[in-house]
Amino acid sequence: MHYWVRASPADFAGAIPQPRSGHTAINIGKSKVVVFGGLIDKKFLSDITVYDIENKLWFQPECTGSGSDGQVGPSPRAFHVAVAIDCHMFIFGGRSGGRRHANAMLGDFWVLDTDIWQWSELTSFGDIPSARDFAAASAIGNSKIVMFGGWDGKKWLSDVYILDTSTVFDMTLEWRELAVLGAMPPPRCGHTATMVEKRLLVYGGRGGGGPIMADLWALKGLIEEGQAPTARCGHTVTSGGLHLLLFGGHGTGGWLSRYDVYYNDCVVLDRVSVQWKRLATTNEPPVARAYHSMTSIGSRYLLFGGFDGKSTYGDLWWLVPEDDPIAKRVTAPPPKAIHENQDASMTSMEKERQMQEDAVSELQKRIGISVSISNPNAKKIVDELEDTELLELASKFIGEGALSNKEAVQALRDHWSKSSPKSIQLKELSPLLRDYKHCVTRIKE
């Protein structure tokens, strides 16, 4: 059994990446996850954000190195491929929104040395792949990369390329187009390609003419699907021990619908039997999405970002087994109810205190934050007349000089008490919660 748990700010230190989709997030060994590129509001990105697994820290390294245009690192892009070999992250293709490559396919090839955070643009020869986006690639062992399919701006592709990275230090690499015998998967883009033992497994994607597929292929032919996921593209397939985990993506809504359908289901592919099965989760999953990233960190999976046809997300979610400490956040027992015989013996002061505790518990449940009022080791709460943000908000609301600080704060509280939840602006939420906590603590004292 697994649970979806929205990542808490307490899970990480440092600034998390900004919302995006079409990015890549890959594991470099067991020490870090590197997020690169993506798209938000038609703006293509080229930033690097790293998650240090041991220290639970997000950071942005200062990268060096340049390519043929003199700029540090690859141009902004999305829907590229990224593969990790040792401490190196290889980037190929994608789509860029720069002036020189407006909505154009890219065919450049880069490597980032994550030990020293240095980019290098690589020179390739041999059977060089055409520029493309929405391709899929995977590492073969610890030296080679295999890439399949994509979209070159005119047609869907079904070609297979192999690259030996052992000559990376010479800055020249030879691509080789693989001649495949027997049946071939139809051309496609937006699919996934994952190496399992000695086979490349390809699933889903969008094919020629636009249909979204639900077929599963190995490099040597079609594999029995079992209870295969629905047809989709823009999903992720993440390796987790003996299983591969598929999450999300989007498909068509059928011939009666003009709109895509976005998914938030989890489907597991057993590496040994090559059979699909649904992953049981007991609570509400994240919002359905596509073009997100999903990485494995020990027994946990970390979901970031994505797009659902309307919104680009920047949320982080853990998918964890039921014995994981994080799972306790959604399985903790609710506060015990007060029985009638207990209620009869309570004084009016005790009843008032119980009502305040119930209000705090309800606040915790609704907005998912801790508002502890009984922990003696808790950080001292700032007095409302020393809370700069609260006073500034009160002054803007009431008008500077019109009232004393104490009167202005009380007027702001009166305004909040008469407001509906939807009418309270996001910028008011932080001072409101601090003031609420202060008022409850004062009552308890």
Taking the C-alpha atoms of residue 124 and residue 146, their distance in angstroms, rounded to an integer, is 15
Q: Are the CB atoms for 129 and 107 separated by under 8 Å?
A: yes
**Mean pLDDT of successive 10-residue segments in the chain (445 residues)?**
93 95 96 96 95 96 84 93 95 79 80 95 90 94 91 92 80 83 89 88 86 86 58 93 92 65 92 82 92 95 95 96 89 49 48 52 49 46 70 69 71 75 70 72 56
Taking the C-alpha atoms of residue 110 and residue 351, their distance in angstroms, rounded to an integer, is 66
For residue 426, the model assigns a pLDDT of: 67
For residue 319, the model assigns a pLDDT of: 96
User: How would DSSP label each residue in 269-338?
Assistant: EETTT--EEEPPB-SPPPPP-BS-EEEEETTEEEEEEEE-SS-EEEEEEEEEETTSGGGHHHHPPPPPPP
For residue 50, the model assigns a pLDDT of: 98
For residue 403, the model assigns a pLDDT of: 64
Cα torsion through 339, 342, 348, 353, rounded to 10: -60
Taking the C-alpha atoms of residue 134 and residue 141, their distance in angstroms, rounded to an integer, is 23
Q: Are the CB atoms for 110 and 93 separated by under 8 Å?
A: no
Burial of 238: CB neighbours in 10 Å, binned 0-12, 13-18, 19+: buried
Burial 212-232 (b: 16+ CB within 10 A, else e): bbebbbbbeeebeeeebbebb
- Return the domain boundaries, the chain: 2-330, 380-444
For residue 379, the model assigns a pLDDT of: 46
For residue 124, the model assigns a pLDDT of: 83
For residue 371, the model assigns a pLDDT of: 44
Q: Are the CB atoms for 24 and 37 separated by under 8 Å?
A: yes
Q: Which fold has domain 2-330?
A: Neuraminidase (2.120.10)
Tell me the residue type at 163: L
